[in-house]
Amino acid sequence: MKIHISDTPQGLGEAAGTLAADLIRSTIAQKGGANIILATGTSQFETLKQLIAASDIDWSKVVMFHLDEYLELSVTHPASFRKYLKERFLEQVPPLQEVHLINGEADAEAECARLGELIKQHPIDVALVGIGENGHLAFNDPPADFDTEQPYIVVDLDEPCRRQQLGEGWFASLNEVPTQAISMSIKQIMKSQHIICSVPDARKAVAVQNCLEQPVSQLHPASILRTHPHCSLFLDQASASLLSQQVAAQAE
C-alpha cells in the first residue's frame, strides 16, 4: 500500500482523481478498454470532481460498476447511490460503454446473481473506494466476511454505519436509514488490479488508524487493503491526524 497525505480534502481529491484518470487512460491504451468501480458518499466528492475534469479519457471504452446500494430505497431518494452516480458522474461525462448500477428495489438475490455474472465477465482494472467511520469497505461492516466468493452479497448495516449516513445528511432520522443493502464483497473488491482509496475528514481518523495500525482483521474490514499489491490510500491532514509518526512517515 502507498499512503499519500494531502493538506486538504481538495488536495486529496486532486491527487486521487489524477491517479485514477492516469490509470484509466493507460489501461485503455494497453487493453482497448477499462473496467472500473466507483464509490459514493461524501468521501468521493473531490476525487470524482477531479476525474470528471480529466482530459483525454475515452469514456466510450469504459465499463462501470459500483460498490453498494440500499435495499428498498427509491432511486429518487436523496440517499440513493444510483441517483448520486447519475447526477454526480454519469451526467457529467460522455456516455460510457456500459453502466451496471445496483437496483436495490429489485429482488435482492436475483440482483446479486445478475451483477455477479456481469462482473465476472469484466475483470476490474481500477476501483475507487472509501473507508467508513466503522472501518467498513463498501457496506461490509465489521466483522466483515473475508471468505465469500460471491461478488455481490446482501448485508446488514450496523448502527455506527447507519449513524454515519444520518450524520452526513442523507437521511432526516436514524429510523429512515435502511438496515440492509447490496454490497460488493471484500474478495471481489480485492480482485481489482488497482485500488484507489479516498478518505478525507477527521470523522475517519480512528478508522484510518485502525486500518493501518491494527492487525489485518475482519473487525477492521479496510485493513485488508494493506495486503493488496497496488492500493493507494489518499488521506488529508484531518483523517491522518491519529497516525503514529512511524506510519505517517511512510507517506509519499
- List the one residue out of 198, 228, 203, 225 whose CA is nearest residue 212: 225
User: Quick one: which of 66, 60, 64, 55 has its CA closest to 32?
Assistant: 60
Return the residue matching grid coordinates 493488496. 228
How many whole angstroms separate alpha carbon 220 and alpha carbon 210?
A: 7
Which pLDDT score, from 0 to 100, does residue 176 have? Answer: 95
The pLDDT of residue 248 is above 90 = yes
Q: What distance in Å separates the CA atoms of residue 18 and residue 210, rounded to the nearest whole number?
A: 27
CATH number for the domain including 103? 3.40.50.1360
If one counts every other C-beta atom within 10 angstroms of the C-beta of residue 252, the result is 8
Stretch 89-112: mean pLDDT: 97
Band (pLDDT 50/70/90 cuts) for residue 118 is very high
Q: Can you tell me the distance from the alpha carbon of 242 to that of 219, in angstroms, rounded to the nearest whole number?
A: 19
| Residue 146: closest CA among 219, 252, 52 | 219
Q: Which residue type sits at 182?
A: I
- Tell me which residue range forms the domain holding 82: 2-248
Q: For position 31, what pLDDT does the model report?
A: 97
Pairwise CA distance, residues 108 & 182, whole Å? 7
Task: Kindly report, residue by residue over 17-53, the tens digit of the pLDDT.
Answer: 999 999 999 999 999 999 999 999 889 999 999 999 9
Residue 65: the pLDDT is 98
Q: How many domains does the chain have?
A: 1
E strand map for 76-160: 98-100, 126-129, 152-156
Query: Which residues have a Cβ under 8 Å from the Cβ of 249 and sit 6 or more positions away?
Result: none
Stretch 167-172: mean pLDDT, rounded? Answer: 92
Instruction: State the Cα–Cα distance between residues 1 and 142, nearest whole angstrom.
Output: 21
Give the torsion sign (CA, 176, 43, 220, 81).
Answer: positive
pLDDT digits (tens, 9 = 90+) for 176-229: 999 999 999 999 999 999 999 999 999 999 999 999 999 999 999 999 999 999
Which ranges in the chain belong to alpha helices (H)? 9-31, 45-53, 81-88, 108-120, 159-167, 186-190, 205-213, 245-248
| pLDDT at 182 (0 to 100) | 98
pLDDT at residue 78 is higher than 90: yes
pLDDT at 252: 81
Average pLDDT of the chain to the nearest whole number: 96
Query: What does the pLDDT average to over 144-156?
Result: 98
